[in-house]
A and B are shown apart, each in its own frame.
Chain A
Amino acid sequence: MDRRTFLKTSAALGAAGLAAPRLATPALAQNAKVLRFVPQSNLANFDPVWGTQYVVRNAGAMVWDMLYGVDANLKPQRQMVGSEEMSPDGLTWTFKLRPGLKFHDGEPVLAKDVVASLNRWMARDPIGVMIKAIQDELAAVDDTTFRWRLRKPFPKLLFALGKTNVPGAFIMPERIAKTDPFTQITEYVGSGPMKFLKNEWVPGARAAFETFKDYKPRDEPASWLAGGKRMLIDRVEWVIMPDAATASAALQNGEVDWWENPIPDLVPLLRKNKDIRVDIADPLGNVGSFRMNHLLPPFDNPKIRQAVLVGMNQEDYMRAIVGDDEALWKPLPGFFTPGTPLYSEAGGAKVGKGDIETAKKMLKEAGYKGEKVVCVVAQDQPITKAQGDITADLLKQIGFNVDFVATDWGTVGTRRASKAPIAQGGWNMFHTWHAGADAINPAGYPAVRANGDKAWFGWPTVPGVESGIAEWFDAPDEASEKAAIDKTNAAALDGVVYAPTGFFLGYQAWRKNVEGIVKGPLPFVWGVSKA
């Protein structure tokens, strides 16, 4: 082969190689209204029961409808259900589906689909597990009616069916819902206002959704997951952008329309752009947290945990997370979301004020023996990294012997599940945060539970917390609920179930030609229009 032949052959092969593999590209109607959205993270899987990430829930809420939906007042409202009836003893619920419900494959939504979907959901959802434990029977009565018989009243049933927490009680066709709850589904057929376009899905890059023409919205105005989900756009394209600076530039350049979670550092830049609007994304915000392992020294000693709580300064944590934007944070002497009916500061007078001297004294009195404190910090999550840096400094100031383990979130996720001693890969402390939507009450908030072995990582045992939560579940009215939560909050702070580092909000940003974006715990596309 001479040089010319070689070069010609190479060029031909190169051209063929470039032309061969192609990404699926959609053919769109000329006037199609397409909303290009940058989600908080990659849609790596699409099973809202199997995968409990918020991003899956957010996409799932477009595709799968729910029996009830929590509205902006945090009350469950009918969504797929047309009517319900509770027996006087509170043990039997009979639900009737509203007419006109259809799946994306054209099949009607039947009661048997609902039963199968709820069975799958109950296997994975903490409240679902509680319901299952008191369930006598869940069965379809006819095509549009199903009945739930319980052995004990469960006043929070409708909330559980309409909550925003993951996993949501999404309704799927029976054939799909019969998939083992620990195995991922492969068919994405819902009855929600948008269809998922599987052939355009490139995990890590993009996902696309198209308006479901046969969707019949409710007559009421939309309010979060409740009301009429009216689609004013034809198509939603999710563009995954792992880099915040790129997302910011793309929004400024008009290449995308809506960015779910701009980082605080870039918000001033976006605010200067006359074509962009910036506002709080979710009024329920987030609760920052660091958890101590209650099984291992030194944090098996409640007095030592209390010393940390007294020494920590929540302002330091919040400024490290959100910067100097005062509108984005507030101190949180408790565990429940500020601004919601159950918010409580009971028992929180000394929490998070940064009283290092008192903390030192308390540590000494508690008999700290200088044990190593293994603080596992995920560096690939800005929120955990910021909190970890503050905590390391705090612990050193108080007088702890800190072993700072810088790692990634995947490793933290595994290591925190270990109850082993430190020498065998255990841990003393890790950081995380909880969605404020989860922290509005104990129903979808496992992080506040304190039932020992069954509790969340750290495995706290605080009987006062558990009795308070039990009282909340059984509470017949709002006053009783509030009293139960006050008791829970005070007990949780006394036992330091975890250390709340403060309450913080985040922004969302969109182009000004987009209207109808609301503040909420997830990005609601219904009611959103684009000029």
Chain B
Amino acid sequence: MLGYISRRVLATIPVMAVVGLFVFSLLYLSPGDPAAIIAGDQATPADIERIRASLGLDRPFLVRFGEWAWRILHGDLGISIFTNLPVTTMIGQRVEPTVSLMCVTLVFAIVVAVPLGVLAAWKAGSLIDRMVMGLAVAGFSVPVFVVGYILAYVFALQLNWLPVQGYTPLSQGLWPWLSNLILPSVTLGLVYIALIARVTRATMLDVLSQDYVRTARAKGLAQHNVLFVHALKNAAVPIVTVIGIGIALLIGGAVVTETVFAIPGLGRLTVDAILRRDYPVIQGVVLLFSFIYVLVNLAIDLFYTILDPRIRY
């Protein structure tokens, strides 16, 4: 197992290198010039050129890439072109809101989606099943920002139960922290709930038709035992896989959700950086997301061994 983990961790290095090269090349080739944006409307071409030179953007691709890669190897993601702050500082400022949003969304989605999927499988073909699947389709179909606006209108503006926007750090108390995250998490979680509920249902349907389930029922086990102890445990591997894959969905959805609820997270940092062509920030954030995604996949693979003792690495 340790050997497997070591190999997988080592394998992240070439993955990150490819991601780094890809992101750097993409930004190099994409149109847009941060120097022109900084210089503003009144700048002369000479001004823009001087700013470009002061930012080091006038140097050849390979020189810039080499310097950037060398800094990355030393744990330095560079300095933001616009804010003049270290990219690590900017990411550090934004990590907590995004991690909080993703964790609360994840917990909320799993707690809601798995029972719903089990229920739909158990009552397959019934009205309950159709309602759950209808909700899943709606969850997939309705854009995140529409859900966000509706929830904010109802629960913040009309009922005044929750704040419209913003983020309060966990250090200022559990409820202030959570109150800012409930609406965004529900908003972001709906797509995720739809995905997990559908996969749970499909997997459970398959498992529930297995002989050992019939045997469990024949033994007179209570329905909830059959569903959640026998069937769900054996259906867990595909569900966990989807949860892992869905982390990418969460990262993408966080961009919109953070904008709608004015949460100062990594999603907004990414969008702002892209619109301004703040290359060091874009590169740093994409690398971070890629790294997180690789680690999540590793964690999911390891989790399989806990869910299914037959799986060994």
Among listed B91-99, B135-143, B187-195, B214-222, interface-contacting one:
B91-99
B41 in contact with A432 (CB, 8 Å): yes
- Given the interface pairs A246-B165, A410-B275, the reply to whether A19 lies near B262 with Cβ below 8 Å is no
Binds A, one of B10-18, B110-118, B166-174, B204-212: B166-174
Q: B230 contacts which chain A residues (CB < 8 A)?
A: none
A123 to chain B, nearest CB (A): 9
Contact, CB under 8 Å: A243 / B260 = yes
For B264, give its contact among A21, A52, A204 (CB under 8 Å).
A204
CB of B275 within 8 A of CB of A19, answer no
B54 interfacial by beta-carbon distance below 8 Å: yes
Instruction: Digitize A237-250: 1 where CB-to-B-CB distance is under 8 Å, 0 elsewhere.
Output: 00111110111011
Closest Cβ–Cβ distance, residue A336 to chain B (whole Å): 17
**In the complex the two chains form, what is the Cα distance from A444 to B40 in whole Å?**
13
A249 contact from B42, B83, B157, B259, Cβ within 8 A: B157
Q: Which A-chain residue is minimally distant from B106 (CB atoms)? A: A14
**A202: Cβ under 8 A from any B Cβ:** yes
A124–B170 Cα gap in the complex (Å)? 44
Q: Is B225 an interface residue (CB 8 A)?
A: no
Report if B32 contacts A (CB, 8 A): yes
Tell me, in angstroms, the Cα distance from A239 to B169 when the chains sit together: 16
B96/A182 in contact, CB under 8 A? no
Interface contact B164-A255, CB-CB below 8 Å = yes
Contacting pair B38 A51 (CB below 8 A): yes
Cross-chain contact B264 with A249 (CB below 8 angstroms): no
Contacts A182-B47, A203-B83; A18 near B272 (Cβ below 8 A): no
Bound Cα distance from A206 to B94, whole angstroms: 12
Selecting from A168-176, A412-420, A502-510, the interface stretch reads: A412-420
Closest to A1 in B: B306
What residues of chain B lie closer than 8 Å to A410, measured between beta carbons? 31-33, 37, 275-277
Indicate whether A245 sits within 8 Å of B32 (C-beta atoms), given known contacts A45-B83, A446-B42: no
Contacts of A531 in B (CB 8 A): none
Contacts of B160 in A (CB 8 A): 253
Q: Does B25 contact A (CB under 8 A)?
A: no
Stretch at the interface among B68-76, B125-133, B148-156: B148-156
Contacts of A407 in B (CB 8 A): 31
Cβ–Cβ < 8 Å partners of B45 in chain A? 417
- The complex places the Cα of A205 from the Cα of B94 at a distance, in Å, of 9
Q: Are B33 and A414 in contact (CB under 8 A)?
A: yes
How far is the CB of A262 from the nearest CB of chain B, in Å?
15
Contacts of A204 in B (CB 8 A): 264, 268-269, 272
B152 touches A246 (CB 8 A): yes
Assess whether B249 is interfacial by the CB under 8 Å rule: no
Q: With an 8 A cutoff between CB atoms, is B163 at the interface?
A: yes
Contact mask for chain B residues 270-313; partner A; CB cutoff 8 A; 1 contact, 0 none: 01100111000000000000000000000000010010000000
Q: How far is the CB of B165 from chain A (nearest CB, A)?
A: 5
| Contact call A206/B264, Cβ cutoff below 8 A | yes
Residue of A whose beta carbon sits closest to that of B275: A410
| Residue of A whose beta carbon sits closest to that of B95 | A21
Are B96 and A21 touching (Cβ within 8 A)? yes
- CB contacts (< 8 Å) of A14 on chain B: these are 103
Within 8 A of B (CB), among A5-49: 6, 14, 17-19, 21-23, 25, 42, 44-45, 47
Q: Chain B residues with Cβ under 8 A from A480's Cβ? A: none
Nearest chain-B residue to A413 (Cβ)?
B36
Task: State which size class the interface on B falls in.
Answer: 35 or more
How near does chain B come to A121, taking the closest CB pair, in angstroms?
A: 12
The reply to whether A23 and B277 contact each other, CB–CB distance below 8 Å, is no
Q: B31 contacts which of A18, A415, A446 (Cβ < 8 Å)?
A: A415
Q: A240 contacts which of B153, B167, B262, B276 (Cβ < 8 Å)?
A: B262
Q: Which residue of A45, A239, A243 is within 8 Å of B166 (Cβ)?
A: A239
How many cross-chain pairs have Cβ atoms below 8 Å apart between A and B? 162
Nearest chain A CB to B98's CB is how many angstroms away?
A: 10
Q: Is A512 an interface residue (CB 8 A)?
A: no
Question: Nearest residue in B to A183 (C-beta to C-beta)?
Answer: B54
Select from chain A the residue with minimum beta-carbon distance to B38.
A51
Asked if B247 CB lies within 8 Å of chain A CBs, one says no
Q: State which residues 216-247 of A face B: CB under 8 Å.
A: 239-243, 245-247
Cβ-defined contact, B32 with A413, below 8 A: yes
Q: How far is the CA of A418 from the CA of B32 in the complex (A)?
A: 12
Q: In the complex the two chains form, is B99's CB within 8 Å of A166's CB?
A: no
B83 pairs with A243, CB closer than 8 A: no
Asked if B50 is at the interface (CB within 8 A of a chain A CB), the reply is yes
A52 and B152 within 8 A (CB) = no
User: Are A21 and B32 also in contact (CB < 8 A) when A44-B272, A182-B51 are?
Assistant: no
Query: In this assembly, does A159 line the interface, its C-beta being within 8 Å of a C-beta of chain B?
Result: no
Decide if B37 touches A250 in the complex (CB within 8 Å): no
Q: How far is the CB of B58 from chain A (nearest CB, A)?
A: 12
Given contacts A45-B82, A246-B260, A413-B33, contact A19 B42 (CB under 8 A): no
Residues facing A in B13-27 (CB within 8 A) are: none
Q: Which of A239-291 contact B (CB under 8 A)?
A: 239-243, 245-247, 249-250, 252-253, 255
B43 touches A52 (CB 8 A): yes
B85 cross-chain contacts in A, Cβ below 8 A: 203
A172 to B164, CA, bound (A): 39
Using A408-B275, A414-B36 as known contacts, say yes or no to A242 and B152 having CB atoms under 8 A apart. no
- Using Cβ atoms and an 8 Å threshold, which residues of chain A touch B82? 44-45, 51, 203
B6 lies within 8 A of chain A by Cβ: no
CB pair A205 B268 closer than 8 Å? yes
Expressed in whole angstroms, the Cα–Cα distance for A180 and B271 within the complex equals 29
Q: Could you list which residues of chain B lie within 8 angstroms of chain A, going by C-beta atoms?
A: 31-33, 36-45, 47-48, 50-51, 54, 80, 82-85, 90, 92-97, 99-100, 103, 149, 152-153, 156-157, 160, 163-167, 169-172, 259-262, 264, 268-269, 271-272, 275-277, 303, 306
Closest 10 CB pairs of A and B: A205-B264, A52-B40, A410-B32, A414-B33, A249-B164, A44-B82, A203-B83, A411-B31, A182-B50, A413-B36
A-B contact pairs, 6 of them (CB 8 A): A23-B264, A45-B38, A245-B149, A246-B262, A380-B275, A432-B41
Add 6 more A-B contacts to A1-B306, A14-B103, A202-B94 (CB < 8 A): A23-B167, A44-B83, A246-B260, A410-B31, A410-B37, A411-B31
Instruction: Using CB atoms and an 8 Å cutoff, list the residues of chain A in contact with chain B.
Output: 1-3, 6, 14, 17-19, 21-23, 25, 42, 44-45, 47, 50-53, 124-126, 166, 180, 182-184, 186, 202-206, 239-243, 245-247, 249-250, 252-253, 255, 380, 407-411, 413-415, 417, 432, 444, 446-447, 454, 456
